[in-house]
Amino acid sequence: MKHFTQFENKSLADRLIEKALAYKNNPRIDISKGLGKRVGCIFLNPSLRTRASTQIAAMNLGMEAIVMNMDKEGWALEMKEGAIMNKGTVEHIKDAAAVLGTYFDVLAVRAFPSLVDKKEDTEDYIFNQFIKYSGIPVVSLESAIRHPLQSLADMVTIQEHMLSGVKPKVVLTWAPHIKAIPHAVANSFAEWAVGCDYDLTITHPEGYELDEKFTKGATIEYDQNKALVGADFVYVKNWSAFNDYGKIHTTDPDWMLRESHFKNASGAKVMHCLPVRRNVELSDEVLDGQRSLVQKQAENRIYAAQAVLSMIIE
């Protein structure tokens, strides 16, 4: 594995999940593996879980992690080839990424989409500039279109809670939100759930269709109640429109999951990547109840990152 940016194949996903579970069982079993190796964690956007879990994952492998909050401690990066840099940007990504490539063994990069320039976001332009110019392995800490460490942690969590030998019914449901939110978590979850061979249904109001590139193999069902019937795992997430790019079409509160939504899925577990807007995306009763796996997902972020870093430095 050179970079970690997306779901590659089931065999690799299975190995990563297995490795993550092994680390969860014994976090410091590979404490010497990363000795003398450095990961640079580059944040172009805020973070809580991702920053902390990646640092902890690195420490558990004996690696050194250095965090750089480019937006706060550094300066604006120029992303365009051939730009005449006589405006606000101070350094070109091709120079900054190349330097970081000489400073670290691995880069871990967070770069959100603009939700304005659909072409640039869809090409994952900014994230890919780091890959193009750093010359070293790059791990996605959430790019414009994917959040694969989250999805790996989600797959680990499902594996821990599914009945063995039975293909679970997994539902990804859109939820209301007050802001325009990226598609990355939803895209990646769909990509990994289908890739891991789960029975995936995606439900959302009309107009919220995700990029078909990520939803191949999933069932699309516009009626949330129908989608939830018999669900084993319900993944809750808001995203803005993809076709009418970055727009909010509705904030219909009926889409917010409450206990009453689970009449036909009484044993369903509920997942969310956090941070969650309580009583907007998901009700307190669900989040604080027995269905919720959100804390377990967050904890598994450590071991997902540890499995990925471990495989990257091999």
Binding region for N(2)-succinyl-L-ornithine: 142, 177, 237, 277
Q: Is 72 in the site for a second copy (CB under 8 A)?
A: yes
- Binding part of the chain for a second copy, among 11-19, 118-126, 241-249, 278-286 by CB under 8 A, reads 278-286
- Binding part of the chain for a second copy, among 142-150, 154-162, 240-248, 273-281 by CB under 8 A, reads 273-281
Residues contacting a second copy: total by CB under 8 A: 58
The only residue of 26, 32, 264, 279 in contact with a second copy, by rule CB under 8 A:
279
- Binding part of the chain for a second copy, among 13-21, 196-204, 261-269, 276-284 by CB under 8 A, reads 276-284
Write the burial class of residue 125 (CB in 10 Å: 0-12 exposed, 13-18 middle, 19+ buried). Answer: buried
- Enumerate residues 106-145 that contact a second copy by CB under 8 A: none
- Of 102 and 266, the one with the shorter C-beta distance to a second copy is 102
The only residue of 26, 219, 264, 295 in contact with a second copy, by rule CB under 8 A:
295
The only residue of 79, 229, 299, 313 in contact with a second copy, by rule CB under 8 A:
299
Q: Is 280 in the site for a second copy (CB under 8 A)?
A: yes
Going residue by residue from 20 to 59, which x/- string records binding to a second copy, judged by CB under 8 A? Answer: --------x-------x-x-x--x--xxxx-xxx-xx--x
Q: Is 178 in the site for a second copy (CB under 8 A)?
A: yes
Q: Is 249 in the site for a second copy (CB under 8 A)?
A: no
Instruction: Write down the least CB distance from residue 260 to a second copy, Å.
Output: 17
The only residue of 32, 75, 167, 243 in contact with a second copy, by rule CB under 8 A:
75
Q: Is 99 in the site for a second copy (CB under 8 A)?
A: yes
Cα distance between residue 60 and residue 313, in whole Å: 14
> What is the 3-class SS of the chain, one letter each residue?
CCCECCCCCHHHHHHHHHHHHHHHHCCCCCCCCCCCCEEEEEECCCCCHHHHHHHHHHHHCCCEEEEEEHHHHCCCEECCCCCCCCCCCCEEHHHHHHHHHHHCCEEEEECCCCCCCHHHHHCCHHHHHHHHHHCCCEEECCCCCCCHHHHHHHHHHHHHHCCCCCCCEEEEEECCCCCCCCCHHHHHHHHHHHHCCCEEEEECCCCCCCCHHHHCCCEECCCHHHHHCCCCEEEEECCCCCCCCCCCCCCCHHHCECHHHHCCCCCCEEECCCCCCECCCECHHHHCCCCECHHHHHHHHHHHHHHHHHHHCC
- Residues near 304 by beta carbon (within 8 Å), at least 6 away in sequence: 16, 20, 53, 57, 149, 150, 152, 153, 156
Name the binding residues for carbamoyl phosphate.
47-50, 75, 110, 147-150, 273-274, 301
Q: Which residues are at the interface with a second copy (CB under 8 A)? A: 28, 36, 38, 40, 43, 46-49, 51-53, 55-56, 59, 64, 66, 68-70, 72-75, 78, 82-87, 90-92, 94-96, 98-100, 102-103, 178, 274-280, 284, 287-288, 294-295, 298-299, 302
